[in-house]
Amino acid sequence: MSYNLLKGKTGIIFGALNNQSIAWKVAEKAYAEGARFVLTNTPIALRFGELNELAEATGSLVIPADATSLTDLEMLFAKSMEHFGGKIDFVLHSIGMSLNVRKDRPYDDLDYSFLMKTMDISAFSFHKMLQTAKKLDALNEWGSVVGLSYIAAQRTLFRYNDMADAKAALESIARSFGYIYGREKHVRINTISQSPTMTTAGSGVKGIDDLIDFTDRMSPLGNATAEECADYCVTLFSDLTRKVTMQNLYHDGGFSSMGMSERAMHTYSRSLNCEECREKLD
Amino acid sequence: MSYNLLKGKTGIIFGALNNQSIAWKVAEKAYAEGARFVLTNTPIALRFGELNELAEATGSLVIPADATSLTDLEMLFAKSMEHFGGKIDFVLHSIGMSLNVRKDRPYDDLDYSFLMKTMDISAFSFHKMLQTAKKLDALNEWGSVVGLSYIAAQRTLFRYNDMADAKAALESIARSFGYIYGREKHVRINTISQSPTMTTAGSGVKGIDDLIDFTDRMSPLGNATAEECADYCVTLFSDLTRKVTMQNLYHDGGFSSMGMSERAMHTYSRSLNCEECREKLD
Amino acid sequence: MSYNLLKGKTGIIFGALNNQSIAWKVAEKAYAEGARFVLTNTPIALRFGELNELAEATGSLVIPADATSLTDLEMLFAKSMEHFGGKIDFVLHSIGMSLNVRKDRPYDDLDYSFLMKTMDISAFSFHKMLQTAKKLDALNEWGSVVGLSYIAAQRTLFRYNDMADAKAALESIARSFGYIYGREKHVRINTISQSPTMTTAGSGVKGIDDLIDFTDRMSPLGNATAEECADYCVTLFSDLTRKVTMQNLYHDGGFSSMGMSERAMHTYSRSLNCEECREKLD
Amino acid sequence: MSYNLLKGKTGIIFGALNNQSIAWKVAEKAYAEGARFVLTNTPIALRFGELNELAEATGSLVIPADATSLTDLEMLFAKSMEHFGGKIDFVLHSIGMSLNVRKDRPYDDLDYSFLMKTMDISAFSFHKMLQTAKKLDALNEWGSVVGLSYIAAQRTLFRYNDMADAKAALESIARSFGYIYGREKHVRINTISQSPTMTTAGSGVKGIDDLIDFTDRMSPLGNATAEECADYCVTLFSDLTRKVTMQNLYHDGGFSSMGMSERAMHTYSRSLNCEECREKLD
């Protein structure tokens, strides 16, 4: 099903790795809706991922770029504009990484150089991308920028670690820059706070399966999938949402507005009412 | 510009009065996007408004109904299903009225029978509509319901009076019922928190012009118009936003995320720095 | 331990029933901190409760009053001022009741006359109390009013039913009236969003035990008790919090800022990993 | 007026510079309430400030420390424990600085090494302090940590620049670390979101006077002063707020819950209705 919602629009999509990635699904969907775009990721991610396959399927150009490098970002926007013969309409930022998480440093034993890196990669890259785009005047009036976030920015989840602080900074940057880019070029900037999703990135987190089970039973509509997230992104890139800006938008089947569902409570209660389970609880 | 986003979908639109109404714009836009729908309002509003004109232009049926009356709502949903030969995909609730506002009762001198009426018309009608729809099984799986709200639900604006409490209740009902209707029928329920809009309803409020000037200068993208609100509603009725539920979504050019803009501050400061103005300030 | 934080202050405490009640603990604590106060509840609650015992222990006057009745409220404030020989410094509103909950009407089968009653008792009574106090000029400058609320106002919990909407309205009234009473008399109005507490009211709710277990394991400091809530109320009645107003203040051991704790996840996971439990899950 | 609320308690207060500083007022107030504490600031701030005067008046030890240096922090906590002969009960973090603000780099032309510094000084120092304290087991059970924040973390104010993102990160750290320190040691961590205050730091910001006028007229109780903030801090350090954690607490005379007050609107409207002013508006 396609509506030509993005017909004639051009974009840049950061962060697709393989066909599990949300950014990958966004690319497929944007393509189906008539958009042309550049795919970008770090050189190392390009080596391990399968981005060329996606580029072929969607007729896209791949431009390697480290989103923390101003030089790379300038080159990326310049080349993209050259490629399209004009300015860009939408950008997706789907980038996040924490060495503290990867190296199993708990939140009360952070390595601070890792923390700086977490912030630089997961949050400041968003600012750098926006600042570069604005300096090069690379985005069309009423363009749309979306960053992917997670509810850990508002509510603490054990093991999510310093990524929570990075997502809080990311959402703040969306507001701060949304004000400036909005008033000067009518560009809107929002974040989507997506259900936990079993991407390659997510699958590394210990215990993620059970958390996903929990959020699924808590959410009246169940967890949102990567495909559904792509659908939602498309509406935010389209001309139908021009006055939505500086928002963090939950795309999570209702999870963010739930205190306790019957299904999740039932599952939780089972272990309280099971003798064998109770013994193992602290 | 049309995308056929609502092709094959059927709906009920509450609250169109004349071509200033947001509900009116939603109807026009939904029609352009391929939807068929029933228009409804109270018998008295139908007499004073120009709904037949809209009905004609969009090939719609008009069914008079008082949204606080369960009997009327049952009749409305039953007739609508009969008319469409099936269930309904979307509903817009754009209803609000306060006799305390109309009769100039300040918030510290409320008439409590008026307050009950404010609540019944502006908030409980949303519950009654949902409860009736669910009892009659009138909505299709993955249907979408939108209620129109205002930021007064979160932040106090002088003169908005008991409508603030009604909007808070409205948004709460969207969450409470969104849980139940979501888990059982995958129906999603959201509210849109719209910029102040110069509708017939709004134009009666004293000093609304200056408030609209303020919110416009505060919002990086300016106030959202009724037409733009209709565009946004269409995305929420479409199949591209299926996992968004129980949310209050700001459609306000960024106002809700602003503390102070340069333009609004400049205007405010002028009167502080003008001798003539200063004399008139308290 | 006592600090004389409320020395010389006078108050009215609504809603104490027995020594499980939060209002009861607030009375004991306020007494220990040097306050004098009037205790009030409905005539029927006075019959079933043990309020006279508390009145004796704290040297308080008991004045029966239905908080939904303007006549009763006028009498209550007039008599209280007469009793103290002056105006009042603080008020606690700890009132809530839903016939829909009591009569087991699920949220998609509400009785609307019950809903009106839920609102009137649990939310509008707060407005009526404030409006009456203001008309009689019954509160001292920089007085403090606290209403007890619950996180259901923001996040849906199954079975909490229409009390969620009432709490949302209660918190909105605190803001709306807080603006007016603040600007005119410097009276501050806040709500405390307390952990679920095993009061007589709470103990009637089915499954409340397991929910309390969940929130306790989710909250890094555990659930807040009624005694701790009383401590917190005392700080809000004191002169040390004069510029806090129109706020909803979470007093919940951290629950409101948690997405998932290790302890709660562990308990939840047990039932997923127990064969016997899994069979019983849907 | 004093209540001995902090009798027997010991603390560390970061960030007092001169008698305009909020931290200075907190020290005076904590002293009056019976606390003993260590005062700390960077060596350079100590040279320019008047901290010795405060130390003398409150019988405090001054320990110079750069809050971004783990070595300094370890030394600070170790010496403080030695000084008190035991663990510490409360900590105030009142630290913030942006070179981008100081050097007039607008938000769309940030220097990224400055941004890193803003984050390190204004947000990560909070984490470093907490991590160091926890590693040294320097805080007593049920200890209390407060960081000073500002509403720019939620809503964009022009010129507040990258400090907004730093405050968002600060508040996130309060939550993330509040979970861990809470569950393991019952230490609570909160931020206070204070009215704009005319401190030495604030007075450097262009146009701050007019903003302060605006927030004062918006807030029903007027802006909160530094002294009032100190009062509020004392309640959070006391034993009466033991179950409040992971919260951002607005201490702002109601500003955060206001959409528009009559007084602020009146001032704003004046310039719209003054011919001379209108000419100067954009």
The confidence score (pLDDT) of residue C202 equals 62
Global confidence as pTM: 0.97
| pLDDT exceeds cutoff 80 at B32 | yes
The minimal CB distance from B156 to the residues D151, D259, D268 is found for D259
What would the mean pLDDT of B3-14 be, rounded to a whole number?
98
The minimal CB distance from B268 to the residues D154, D158, D268 is found for D268
Q: pLDDT band at residue D131, thresholds of 50, 70 and 90? A: very high
**What kind and span of H or E run contains C157?**
strand C156-157
What would the mean pLDDT of D243-268 be, rounded to a whole number?
97
Angle, CA of D200, D201 and D206, to the nearest 5°: 100
Which residues in chain B have Cβ-Cβ distances shorter than 8 Å to D205?
none
| pLDDT exceeds cutoff 70 at A203 | no
Ordered structural domains, chain B, with CATH: 10-281 (3.40.50.720)
Which residues in chain C have Cβ-Cβ distances shorter than 8 Å to B169?
119, 165, 168-169, 172
Choose, out of A125, A127, A165, A246, the residue to mutate when testing the contact with D (most D CBs < 10 Å): A165
Angle, CA of A88, A93 and A95, to the nearest 5°: 150
Are C175 and B155 within 8 A, CB to CB? Answer: yes
Considering only alpha carbons, which residue of chain C is nearest residue D250?
C244
Touching check for D249 and chain C: CB below 8 Å?
yes
| pLDDT exceeds cutoff 70 at C192 | yes
Cβ C26 vs Cβ C5: under 8 Å: no
| pLDDT exceeds cutoff 70 at D203 | no
| pLDDT exceeds cutoff 70 at A200 | no
| pLDDT exceeds cutoff 90 at A255 | yes
C203 against D244, higher pLDDT: D244
Give the C-alpha separation, B250 to D104, whole Å: 32
Query: Is 0.95 exceeded by the ipTM?
Result: yes
| pLDDT exceeds cutoff 90 at C140 | yes
Q: pLDDT band at residue D163, thresholds of 50, 70 and 90? A: very high
Angle, CA of B233, B237 and B238, to the nearest 5°: 115
Give the C-alpha separation, D243 to C221, whole Å: 6
Touching check for D216 and chain C: CB below 8 Å?
no
**Number of helical H runs and strand E runs in chain D:** 13, 9
Considering only alpha carbons, which residue of chain D is nearest residue B274?
D277
The confidence score (pLDDT) of residue D48 equals 82
The confidence score (pLDDT) of residue A274 equals 83
What would the mean pLDDT of A81-97 be, rounded to a whole number?
98
The confidence score (pLDDT) of residue C280 equals 75
Q: Please give the share of chain C, as a percent, with pLDDT higher than 90.
A: 88
Q: What is the pLDDT of residues A14-71, one digit of tens each?
A: 999 999 999 999 999 999 999 999 999 999 999 887 999 999 999 999 999 999 999 9
Buried b (16+ CB within 10 A) or exposed e, D203-213: eebeeeebbbb
| SS3 category, C248 | strand
Q: What is the pLDDT of residues A135-165, one digit of tens each?
A: 999 999 999 999 999 999 999 999 999 999 9
Greatest Cα pair distance in chain B = 68
Q: What is the pLDDT of residues C103-135, one digit of tens each?
A: 999 999 999 999 999 999 999 999 999 999 999
What average pLDDT does the structure give for chain A?
95
What would the mean pLDDT of B212-219 be, rounded to a whole number?
97
The confidence score (pLDDT) of residue B94 equals 98
Touching check for C261 and chain D: CB below 8 Å?
yes
Cβ D53 vs Cβ D28: under 8 Å: no
**What kind and span of H or E run contains B249?**
strand B248-251
What would the mean pLDDT of A66-90 be, rounded to a whole number?
98
The confidence score (pLDDT) of residue D276 equals 79
Which CA distances in Å does C4 have to A225, C33, C167, D33? 57, 4, 32, 12
Are C268 and A155 within 8 A, CB to CB? Answer: no
The confidence score (pLDDT) of residue B203 equals 64
| pLDDT exceeds cutoff 80 at B35 | yes
The confidence score (pLDDT) of residue D149 equals 98
Secondary-structure breakdown of chain A: helix, strand, coil percentages, each rounded to the nearest 5:
50, 15, 30
Q: What is the pLDDT of residues B162-212, one digit of tens each?
A: 999 999 999 999 999 999 999 999 999 999 999 999 876 666 666 789 999
Q: pLDDT band at residue A229, thresholds of 50, 70 and 90? A: very high
Give the C-alpha separation, D47 to D26, whole Å: 21
The confidence score (pLDDT) of residue C275 equals 80
